[in-house]
Chains A and B, each alone.
Chain A
Amino acid sequence: MKNKILYIITATVILLGQSCSKDELNVQNPNSPTPASAQTESGIEALGLGAVYQNGFNGISDSRYTGSWLGSDYFFLGPAYMDLLGDVISAEAANNITNQIGVPDYYIDDKGNTVSNTAPALGVARLNNSRTKAGSNMYFYEWAWMYYLNNACNGILAIVDGTTFSGDATTKKNTLKAWAYFWKGYAYSHIGSLYYAGLIKDNYVTTNNNFVSSAAMITAANANFDLAIAALGAVPTTADYNKVLAYLIPTPCQVGKGGLLTPTMWIHNINTMKARNLLVNKTVATMTSTDWNNVLTLANSGITSTDLVFTGRSSATNSWLSATSGSVAALTVGNPSSTTYKISERLIQDYKTGDKRFATNFSNANLYLNQKGGITYSTRYTLLDVASSSTAGTLGGVASKVVGNYELFIAGSYEENELMKAEANIMLSNIATGLTSVDNVRTYQGSGLAATSGVITDPALAYEELRKERRVGLLFRGLSFYDARRWGVITDIAQGGTGRKNCVVVSTTGTVNVNATINYHFLDYWDVPDDEISLNPPSANSAPVVNPKK
């Protein structure tokens, strides 16, 4: 008996010893693919899709930053800073300091009293440019999102040539290359158009510390756009091209203005982006006729009214874009007493009387008085959800929280391209041609406004039509800050800026001023975020990373 038991115990020990052989330690992560999984035809397509819509537009997942978010993904915050600084929207909540960075230094009310901001926005933004301030550092976001996008695209480029494809491999490779170069160009355009300096980083993961000026970033952006055009030029088989692109562009986005762009349409989109790069990175005052001619040349081969463009749409499930919190528009819809963003009175005053787009999109059912600081925040206007708007149709509608309703313009659009034509023509004294483009956009969006071409002949009045149409027609397309910058609106009046005159300001107690002057005084190009600088200090021969303006 004893021996039996001993044998049992001994056997147990030995058995256990056997079962614990080292082979059992070979536990790979069974849940996720490895980088090698991406180097197949289906793998690199999956990588191409994820690079843009996940790493790019949903890439920030660190709770230090996301913990204070009121929305989700890039399009609720990146473009919101543009519209806060461009005085299209305002915010009352302090999350991500959206309540402070868009407040002008002062306004002079109708009685001539100056109402000052005790916390000048430029200083607040810079005070928060510290890695330890995490979510409150406005400068971090656009930088991080765009470099995440850029890096993910570098990942595609790093393996595309070594990947084996079925069918027409050249077409498929070039489609993926065009995709990667296009989005790299997009990322560099955003960096160069907003930051005082940037990094040209074409490696996967590894970075460098040779910061270059914003102008050099734009040059690099255009170079990537040209590489995309070259790749698109080398796409002989449309079927295989469409097959890849149908994977890369999320299915829910392949409706409306979004869809499978032909190589020609895509090149049109690129030309519009290149025209934008030129237009928005100089002030109107410093644009030469050569510049305007270059803008015109690019815009003339830019997006047409029938071209498809890059759009975002929400879907009920597996959506990369939230219908209710994924865009500036979604977070502005509703009673301003409880929305994240509130419509600016200065946007509303840019609608011309009789513009159907105004009735489609706005009501004045709710008064919002901002009593918590933010001297220009109060508003009488509510942005409507076009799905629930009682007014005719959704033509020209700009916002909806209903799943799949809202069409987000990610890059260029027909309207933007047409208005660049308009502006170049007006500045080149082709007033009627220019205003025809303005009229085209108004017609396209169903404004119901009378034609101006041939009616208005004064260059200044023509330009005013253009200015208003850029504000109204390009609402929520991330361009308002660029415009305010190039028009001199955001520059401190004491430093030669124009500010904004004759404008509507509703005071914190509800007094409506109609002839106020606002001095915004914001930084034109942002300092490089401390989140980058403190971990990646600039090399000795780097361009300055801090804007010397004060």
Chain B
Amino acid sequence: MRKILTLLMCIVLGIAQLNAQSQTATGKVTDDKGAAVSGATVTEKGTKNGAATSSDGSFTLKVKQGATLVISSLGFETREVAAATVVNVQLATDVKVLSDVVVTGVGYATSKKKLPISVETIGGDKLAATSTTSVAQALVGKVAGAQITSKEGTPGAPLNILLRGINSLRGGTYPMILVDGVEVRATDLGTLDLNNVDRIEVVEGAASSTIYGAQGANGVIQVFTKRGKEGQTKIDFSTSYASSSFINSGNLHQATTHGFLTDANNNVVDKNGVILAIKPDGTLTSGVNINGQTQAGLVWASTNPNTDGSKLYDHNLKYYDHLAQLFQSAATINNSLSISGAAGKNDFAMTLTHNHQESVIRDNGALDRTNFSANVGTELFKGFKLRSITQLVYSKNNFNPYFTAGVSGTFFRALNTSPFFDFNWKDANGDYPYSLVATPVSVNGYNPNYYKEYVFGYDQTIDVIQNIQASYKVNHFLDLEAKYGINYENEQQNVTYKNQTQNINLISLSSAGIGYFNGKEGSIGNFEYNTTFQNALTTATLHLDLAKDFHVKVPIVSNTQVGYDYRKNVYKQYYTYGDGLGLYPIYNMQQTSTQTISSDYVRPFVTFGTYLSESLDWGNVAGIRGGFRSDYSSAFGSGSTPQTFYNGNAYFRISQLGFWDKLASVIPEFKLRGGYGEAGIQPGAFDRYVTLSTRTIGTNLAFYTPSVQSNPNLNVEVSRESEIGTDLTVNLSKGKWFSNATFSGTYWKRTSKDVIYQVDAPPSTGGAGYLTNSFSLSSNGVTFILNLNVVKTRDFNWDFTANFNHQSSQIDAISTGQPIVVTSGAGYGNYVLQAGSKIGQLYGLKTFHDVNQTKQDGSLYISQANVGKYQVVNGILVDTATRGIQFTNQNYSYGDPNPKFNMAFINNFSYKGISLSFQLDWVHGSHLYNQMKEWMYRDGIHGDYGNKITINGQTAAFSAFYTSAYADMFGSINGARNSIKDYFFEDASFLRLRNLSIGFDVLRYTKIKYFKKLQFVLTGRNLWTLTKYTGMDPETSSGTTNSGFDRGVDYATTPNNRTYQVGLNIGF
């Protein structure tokens, strides 16, 4: 190493000294905001004489009298000025896009013009100012090549991120997250503070795998935090208040009418005519009611073809709007203070943000998150810089454990409670009843207030992201850089169940209530999770310009980077439970009668490797890159050999060729690019280690064989990707309107081999399955970005951006040749993973649309003789006698639920200090299985039951029609309950006004002393949705977050919020 350095030093010193000059020009280079531009190149035009600006932007250069200085810097428009004794130059940001500087995926700052792969950059000011101040939320719709979906509305819930196709079935689709060059694995993207983000770069494909290794196969999102800039110390303060309410774009509601047995006065009565009333236990089942009368229970002839569900709840049973009883409008309050500045060789930026988000579920507490970040840098001596970037995050929510992120059960139960139950009704003891059953309806009815009365808990997380970087620009040729990052997360959850033994409802129903162990005696669960992730990256980059440095007459610039990358992740979990709490209000472990530890688990994972990347650029015209990376992994143990993967890519700027000069005024930029990359996804930490599981049974330890066997012969999953693309700038007119447009398009294709997934074993083996390299997958997609400068005048500016993304993934082969059945994380809905079909398909029964429906063997379901018994109603076939919808009794695939494409349309207007921007997101061709609706059909609770239809000339809200959708299949009334039916598989395409923001800059109109910025901002998020989907929110998904295949089920997930926000931004 030292030898190399010495050698390089010699090369530097060997370079010819410059000739004597006749004038000294000194000056400072700043950007359009007055901040110093360091590292800018100042050259004497027509010569090789030049200098670079120092960190305060200053330079000194001896030039000939009357010379012209050329000042250039990456990301800025190059300027030429006449040399003078003092030359202060302000550089304008290069607005012809494609000129941004990109680091991610290439390893060192590179102009986008010379980038052979697609990397998307989003400036901090272009991110949506969401009330959640979550980086993840702010990215929705902003990244052309990504599908980022806000799959649930609970504050703090993670988002589904899919960059390029499905690579891995077990690993999911979550990309690698980098913060300032170092991987962050413990902390979720949604936890990072939006206020300190300078810009975000997204590399979607595997083409960057050489830099990031196996973990980069799902793409990389890199967040760059703000740094202090030269000038006066800046103090920025922003505050905002937002009000959120749940989205219900499909108008999901419970039926406001019913079809129960009633007397002449429209009282709901039992079979003997007794007017029904609630029982002392809060239920409406048979027994003695609060009026002292013995009732036999509600009568609902749901399959009787004459039952009409359009009776009003206007006598003994009333209608309660359960959504109104469950939800509220919630406040979100944000405060953020930033101080930044730079002087001489030091810079600093600090941000303190506090975010308070209430739950839209009534009386459900709030999420509080405090982020502190500090980015300090110094140049110890010329070329040697040290930087420390710290982010500390403390998050705590006191959401009810039954209404927290990822939990849908209670919401489901509330919606599945018949609307004649009042959630606010309390029994004689002042307690809420648990089960709100009214057999034969409301079977899964449970009072959400019961959970609030008897369960509480908290979830607190501490995140630390510490990143230390040292870089040394040894000389013109060589950059050395060492980065070390530690990312630590500690999460503590507590769930406490109070003693429920005195609850009248539980006693009456012999119900176990809720809790660990055996329910109603009360219990406590404490869960602790720790992740410590370390990433160390050292690189050496050698820049050689053959023309400049060696006077060779070829315009070749070479950049060589070697890197060494080390990552270690240690995950720990520890669960303790206590059983049995007294009736007195003290709730800690010491009050429990027995305690047990159910998990004490540690999972270390180490990987390290080296890489080499070489790029050669031919002037501004073309370039090629190539490299490889070799990684060791603890998944394979110490005796393993490293896995090596290659990549290569190239670009060609046709617009830089001589013949193009005539076209250059119309099409100043036309670039073709292409790349190939490989990445390996390593097996899980212990996937290869055969172990026995343990548990305690009674008082003794037991060993047992795990149901899914690990496999010592697993290989790494290999993903290979190719992309081709073009970047194009067109000058449309010379006027103010449509002056120019830039277009960027990429087509990509990837295959994944040896994808690890559990395959089924026959039960006689004694287990459910084993892990193996079982799947081959392939994906492809197209991404377009169009930026259009619609108008640009002195006062009025209008920019338009359209992002388009299409992608599709399919299963090419499964090693066993057998389809694999997987249940949705939502608990219901079977996916079948089958060779030759798209990933994530649901299988189920099909609705008949005419009498000619055939079975899978081609024979007809309905014989010619019986054709007359059926009628098509609203496009579906109904038996006119039973009024039931006809369904097949065999399963069919419903096709790919993933969107055909997603688009975003972003408009920014500014007029004299008033800015207006809005973003429309369009997701087309996605489908959701509306599991919630199906469940609400079961007991006649769904609003559809009040809708009238016409069958055989008779019009009524036929209960039998709707009930059949839940219960029937061909030839079998009630024979297919719980079955998946395409009746509930709905188009979930939507167009959503994601963001609407109006800003007013006060200082534009009146100067106020000390104030540098005073801006009012009104923001609306998710204000409007256009969809055919009949559930609450077409964007939600109840499947496992970031799953490769589990994205197609909606099972009572908390919908997203509609938010109105008012904000104030102040700068000093």
Residues in A lying within 8 Å of B, measured CB to CB: 1-2, 5-6, 9-10, 12-14, 16-17, 19-20, 22-35, 37-38, 43, 45-47, 49-51, 53-55, 59-64, 67-68, 92-95, 99-100, 118-119, 124, 127, 130-136, 140, 143-144, 147-148, 150-152, 154-155, 199, 201, 204-207, 247, 250-253, 314-320, 322-325, 333-335, 337-339, 365-374, 385, 388, 401, 403, 509-510, 529, 531-532, 534-536
Contact = CB atoms under 8 A, between A and B. Distances in A.
A24 to B, nearest CB: 5
Contacts of B595: 317
A205 B699 CA distance: 28
Nearest to A17: B564
13 contacts: A12-B482, A13-B482, A16-B564, A22-B638, A37-B703, A53-B697, A134-B823, A250-B700, A251-B699, A317-B517, A369-B296, A401-B512, A532-B763
B914 to A, nearest CB: 51
B692 A47 contact: yes
Given A54-B704, A371-B302, A536 B764 contact: yes
Contact of A16 (B301, B538, B889): B538
Interface stretch (B340-348, B503-511, B1017-1025): B503-511
Given A53-B697, A401-B510, A509 B271 contact: yes
Contact of B637 (A25, A100, A372, A510): A25
Contacts of B832: 132
A385 B302 CA distance: 32
Contacts of A135: 823
A155 B691 contact: no
B113 to A, nearest CB: 32
A373 B967 contact: yes
Given A32-B693, A337-B439, A372-B974, 13 more contacts: A2-B384, A25-B632, A29-B685, A33-B691, A62-B769, A67-B827, A152-B705, A251-B698, A317-B577, A338-B435, A338-B437, A403-B517, A531-B760
Max count, chain A CB within 10 A of own CB: residue among B691, B702, B828, B973: B702
Nearest to A99: B977
B606 interface: yes
Nearest to A62: B768
Given A13-B564, A318-B698, A371-B300, A510 B271 contact: yes
A50 B439 CA distance: 41
A38 to B, nearest CB: 5
Instruction: List the 9 shortest-distance A-B pairs measured between CB atoms, nearest first.
Output: A151-B766, A373-B974, A119-B975, A119-B972, A334-B510, A50-B702, A50-B704, A250-B698, A94-B977
B297 A337 contact: yes
A545 B868 CA distance: 41
Contacts of A63: 823, 827
B249 to A, nearest CB: 29
B632 A54 contact: no
Contacts of A94: 977-978
B699 A16 contact: no
A59 B705 CA distance: 9
Interface string B816-844: 10110111000110101000000000010
Given A119-B972, A369-B271, A369-B440, A27 B703 contact: no
A532 B439 contact: no
Contact of A100 (B5, B764, B975): B975
Contact of B978 (A17, A95, A204): A95
A14 B637 CA distance: 23
Interface residues of B, number: 115
Contacts of A324: 512, 518-519
Contacts of B301: 371
Given A315-B698, A337-B286, A373-B967, A27 B637 contact: yes
A16 B536 contact: yes
A206 B511 CA distance: 43
A62 B707 contact: yes
Contacts of A16: 536, 538, 564, 566
A155 B693 CA distance: 14
B381 A534 contact: no
A474 B77 CA distance: 91
Nearest to A53: B697
B24 interface: no
B168 to A, nearest CB: 20
B755 to A, nearest CB: 19
A33 B606 CA distance: 21
B766 A134 contact: no
Contacts of A92: 443
B696 interface: yes
A1 B472 CA distance: 13
B640 interface: yes
B602 interface: yes
B511 A338 contact: yes
Contacts of B443: 92-93, 338
A99 B979 CA distance: 13
Interface centre among B300, B577, B978 (most CB of A within 10 A): B978
Contacts of A534: 818
B768 A61 contact: yes
A272 B279 CA distance: 48
B109 interface: no
A323 B518 contact: yes
A68 to B, nearest CB: 7
B971 A119 contact: yes
A144 B768 CA distance: 9
A20 B608 contact: yes
B559 to A, nearest CB: 20
B34 interface: no
Contacts of A201: 764
A147 B763 contact: yes
Interface string B765-784: 11111000000000000000
A10 B8 CA distance: 15
A140 to B, nearest CB: 7
Interface string B694-729: 111111111111010100000000000000000000
A147 B830 contact: no
Interface in B99-128: none
B424 interface: no
A320 B638 contact: no
Contacts of A333: 510
B763 A140 contact: yes
B691 A34 contact: yes
Nearest to B520: A324
A43 B702 CA distance: 8
Interface in B798-824: 816, 818-819, 821-823
A144 B763 contact: yes
B579 A317 contact: yes
A33 B692 contact: yes
A38 B692 contact: yes
A317 B696 CA distance: 9
A512 B1067 CA distance: 82
Given A27-B604, A369-B440, A532-B762, A49 B700 contact: yes
Nearest to B380: A5
Contact of A27 (B271, B605, B828): B605
Contacts of B512: 324-325, 401
